[in-house]
Chains A and B, each alone.
Chain A
Amino acid sequence: MSPMAHTAPEPSATAPELIRNFSIIAHIDHGKSTLADRMLQLTGVVDQRQMRAQYLDRMDIERERGITIKSQAVRMPWEEDGVTYALNMIDTPGHVDFTYEVSRSLAACEGAVLLVDAAQGIEAQTLANLYLAMENELTIVPVLNKIDLPAAQPEKYAEELAKLIGCEPEDCLKVSGKTGMGVPELLAQIVKQVPAPVGDPNAPARAMIFDSVYDTYRGVVTYVRVIDGMLHPRERITLMSTKTQHELLEIGVSSPEPVPTKGLGVGEVGYLITGVKDVRQSKVGDTVTNYAKPATDALEGYREPLPMVFSGLFPIDGSDYGPLREALDKLKLSDAALVYEPESSVALGFGFRCGFLGLLHLEIVRERLEREFGLDLISTAPSVVYEVTLDDKSQVTVTNPSEFPGGKISEVREPIVRATMLAPSEYIGAIMELCQERRGSLLGMDYLSEDRVEMRYMLPLAEIVFDFFDQLKSRTKGYASLDYNPDGDQVANLVKVDILLQGEPVDAFSTIVHADKAYTYGVMMTGKLRKLIPRQQFEVPIQAAIGARIIARENISAIRKDVLAKCYGGDISRKRKLLERQKEGKKRMKMVGRVEVPQEAFIAALSSDDGSAGERKK
């Protein structure tokens, strides 16, 4: 066992040969953050007293849900054969919505620890993240985790893993992030296998921004990996894409608390503070250089993450519109992936159409808005982006189904994804059936081992972002895992289904579906609303329509009795109070034409119990 390092190499003065930069990548829940905990302890950067499980998951939401949402980089000293190295470890998220976080982290590293739960084996994000690491030409250190579990089958999965990355089963390290077993050996192997960073110390400084976070106390904190040259505090820097200049107010490393340093040299990972207030001014993927002695070529940036799912967010109390805007502006400061623009709905009033990376992202943003900013929100049914070409060749991009043009449409394109599913082979039939129902086409299938398969499908994004994962899990007894990547778009026979109350369309309920599913949707939604909308003094037809064609209809018959039969001396106070409450309740009603729809009916209808709003962790 290697001893804890006595003297840590000083940032800004550490030779690149002594630096190892690596990310921990894995499928969700395979134990990245727990393994990171052991590393923090072993290297002594977090002491026993401060230690708590998943130390780097600091956000309330991360802790409550037990998942990592943001990558975290930490500098740790580690002594091997009498030499003290500086290890920069990045713990990454495993959920598919946050894949872009992983790819940014990988760009700051030379190596990746590919962690596999020894009781689960390889899963979909194991593959996805492995491929990302290979694209970045990183050295892969294969590791089996959770070997303390009685159900662990390290031998079996070592074989799978070896086959996958083309090494020998013995090359797979076996650790337990829980007990710490095998972690020193893993650190030793990281030092040995992961190449030291290379760069030109004398060239003009170039550092890659791989994360940018807004902090209430410190303003925007920008995380960088230095490629060439050196950055110093107090010097002026230029951001190469925007050509903006800033003074470096502070420069340092996370260990894991921020520690200001005299600078950052070749291969080092750390943070910068320039006093900018908006993360958009310090964009992920941009190159930082020295103002006085600028580099000529910027580093290759990242693709900006594109929102995949859109939903309208509306305050339940109309007067919260302003506070909602302010809250979104604040969240946006540390969540560059969040996009939004004002929108108004006849049914729901003023709100914002927001774009998200996926449903988990949506859920998290919504939860943070409600919790951190005290807002009560309704979110409309999520939608993907459609490209509509009209007969006159003009194009319309539709993120809000109610804006889907009526008539004269020559073509509608919908986003598609390449999906990878891993499951025991006995579920092949079930998965094929599900994908067929969701308009998927099989791209290929491989056996990872005798009894585990990888199935690749092309699927419309709209078919998989909502309840697909729940269905996949339930049809495979929880054994299948899923990963997907956007892969362009395709023409499809899509229609907008409107829901009409007494002939008036309710914008919040419009949706775009494949023509074959329009009827099912119409029947489901009209049926649901019939149960949710209280009877009115007149009959209320509820219709589902494609254009002028009615495809489903329900009726709410007129209420005939709304009176207290008996009202004597002793009843009066009670009855007056009842009416006062009803009068209050009326204020919370939304009017659709003459129909009074309680707020709760909207919420219940939109938070469909068919799973479309509540995707669980993957």
Chain B
Amino acid sequence: MAGPPPDGDPAPADGSLPASAAIGSAGRAFGVYLHVPFCAVRCGYCDFNTYTAKELGGGASQAAYAGTAVQELAFAASVLSRAGVAERPVSTIFIGGGTPTLLPASDLARLIGGVRDNFGLKPGAEVTVEANPDSVTPESLAALAAGGVTRVSFGMQSQVRHVLAVLDRTHDPKRIPDVVKWARDVGMSVSLDLIYGTPGESLADWRSSLEAALACEPDHLSAYALVVEDGTKLAARVRRGEVIAPDDDDEADKYELADDLISAAGLAWYEVSNWARTPDDACQHNLAYWRGDDWWGVGPGAHSHVGGVRWWNVRHPSAYATRIDAGESPAQGREVLDGQARQLEEVLLRSRLRAGLPLKEAGLHGDPAVLLAGVLADGLVEPEPAAAGTVVLTRRGRLLADAVVRALLP
């Protein structure tokens, strides 16, 4: 989900950060998110900040994009150093979209180079690219690997044609094993994204998508319940009654099926919607989001977080380019989180993780047996870690994670 930007405060034009952002930065990992706001067509369910060439009135901005993004990386480096934020080599890069693979591999390599030039890259850093199955070839994947990409996440979504059709996905499901193999051949770690709960998808359809995905033996799998986002074509179709809105109970069944099949295939959950073959296969970049680490988000509409300050860039690629070209911060708004907001975020993000939420670290002091009595009785948290003061969701609890968060908050 991306949706409209949150309400926030105005962001300073020079991008300067409050002093608080630097506190404790030396102890936090630093990642870079690079947003590529282009897609060949817009899928009916998607509300990401992305644009088709037609919407942008030609491919010019696509061609110039990598250059602009690299300028933001330089801007980022100077803002951070001015704010006194510890200089750290980047641990993770995530190039997401949109459809990053619409850009030539050389552009993506240039982006990765920009990160390296401005911040340095940690040895063994994770560098992920999101890819649509129909926008990669063995050659482009090889070029990406050569440019530094270590991991690819394919938007498979489903194996079933009528489900893909409702989602407006254009790729041929038969292509999935191939693209996985090509990525493997060039040494990348592979993840597949699946969506469940699409109107018209039966439990058997979902099973066959899961089986097809698992047959490719991915290192990592994400399974998302379909969200009908406001303002999308899908939302309009639901409103008009053309398709039936996803049903929570059906999605719960599908989640349970997914967890059963994926676990049986040897992957383990590490976040509510994510499974990895080994702990090292977990997406380190996303883990940083949930752990509250620092990251700089480059590109139109991208979000950043540094030490309790969140900001987000202007959404339109040309507005974004104008700001960057003028040497101004592309941030549209920001929020400096207070103690209460930080606590809420910590609870809601960390409780999603298999590693769990240590109550004390989130400022929830007191006897865990008392704090967790209700959620324990309802079978939403695992008793053993609970006894030690850490919240780890049971499977039922993962499906009711928001209710657990509300129960935990003071």
Contacts and interface: CB of A to CB of B under 8 A. Distances in A.
A451 B404 CA distance: 69
13 contacts: A537-B380, A538-B378, A560-B249, A561-B251, A565-B227, A566-B227, A567-B272, A569-B297, A570-B301, A572-B303, A576-B344, A579-B344, A583-B409
Nearest to A575: B348
A572 B3 contact: no
B6 interface: yes
A197 B303 CA distance: 88
A579 B344 CA distance: 8
Top 8 nearest A-B pairs (CB, nearest first) are A560-B252, A565-B225, A563-B401, A573-B6, A570-B303, A561-B248, A561-B252, A565-B224
Contacts of A477: none
B63 interface: no
Interface class of chain B by DSSP = mixed
Nearest to B254: A561
Contacts of A567: 272, 289-290, 348-349, 352
A371 interface: no
Interface in A509-537: 537
A570 to B, nearest CB: 4
Interface in A548-574: 557, 559-574
A580 B6 CA distance: 13
Interface string B257-284: 0000000000000001100000000000
A560 B227 contact: no
Contact of A579 (B252, B303, B402): B402
A557 B295 CA distance: 42
Given A537-B378, A561-B248, A579-B406, A572 B400 contact: no
B114 to A, nearest CB: 19
Interface of B: 1-3, 6, 8, 33, 223-225, 227, 248-249, 251-252, 255, 272-273, 286, 289-290, 295, 297, 301-305, 310, 312, 335, 341, 344-345, 348-349, 352, 378, 380, 396, 398-403, 405-406, 409
B203 to A, nearest CB: 14
Contact of B399 (A563, A569, A582): A563
A274 to B, nearest CB: 58
**Interface core residue of B295, B305, B380, B403 (most chain A CB under 10 Å):** B403
Contact of A568 (B289, B310, B348, B402): B289
B401 A582 contact: no
Interface string A487-525: 000000000000000000000000000000000000000
A574 to B, nearest CB: 5
Given A575-B348, A583-B409, A537 B400 contact: yes
A565 B301 CA distance: 21
Nearest to B342: A576
Contacts of A408: none
Nearest to A571: B1
Given A572-B303, A573-B8, A574-B1, A562 B33 contact: no
A528 to B, nearest CB: 22
A577 interface: yes
B6 A574 contact: yes
Contact of A574 (B3, B223, B286): B3
B305 A561 contact: no
A586 interface: yes
Contacts of A576: 341, 344-345, 348
B92 to A, nearest CB: 11
Interface residues of A, number: 27
Contacts of A569: 33, 289, 295, 297, 303-305
B248 A559 contact: yes
B403 A562 contact: yes
A513 to B, nearest CB: 35
Contact of B402 (A560, A564, A570): A564
A537 B251 CA distance: 16
Nearest to B379: A537
A537 B224 contact: no
Contacts of B272: 563, 565, 567
A461 B130 CA distance: 72
A574 B406 CA distance: 16
A557 B247 CA distance: 14
Given A569-B297, A570-B312, A572-B303, A579 B348 contact: yes
A444 B3 CA distance: 70
A584 B335 CA distance: 20
A572 B335 CA distance: 12
Contacts of B302: 570
Contacts of B248: 559-562
Contacts of B225: 561, 565
Given A559-B400, A572-B289, A572-B310, 7 more contacts: A561-B248, A561-B251, A563-B399, A564-B227, A564-B402, A572-B345, A579-B348
Interface in A239-261: none
Contact of B400 (A563, A565, A580): A563
A602 to B, nearest CB: 21
A563 B259 CA distance: 15
Nearest to A567: B352
Nearest to A538: B378
Contacts of B33: 569
B400 A564 contact: no
Nearest to A568: B289
Given A563-B272, A563-B398, A572 B349 contact: yes
A236 B202 CA distance: 90
A570 B251 CA distance: 24
Nearest to B272: A563
A353 B345 CA distance: 45
A618 B49 CA distance: 59
B398 to A, nearest CB: 7
Nearest to A536: B403
Contacts of A575: 348
Contact of A573 (B223, B297, B310): B310
A520 B403 CA distance: 35
A138 to B, nearest CB: 64
A56 B171 CA distance: 77
Contacts of A570: 2, 297, 301-303, 312
A577 B344 CA distance: 10
A563 B380 CA distance: 13
Nearest to A580: B344
A571 B47 CA distance: 12
Contacts of B396: 560
Contacts of B227: 564-566
A557 B335 CA distance: 39
Contacts of B402: 562-564, 579, 582
A336 B303 CA distance: 65
A586 B378 CA distance: 19
B400 A573 contact: no
B1 A566 contact: yes
A314 B104 CA distance: 67
B405 A579 contact: yes
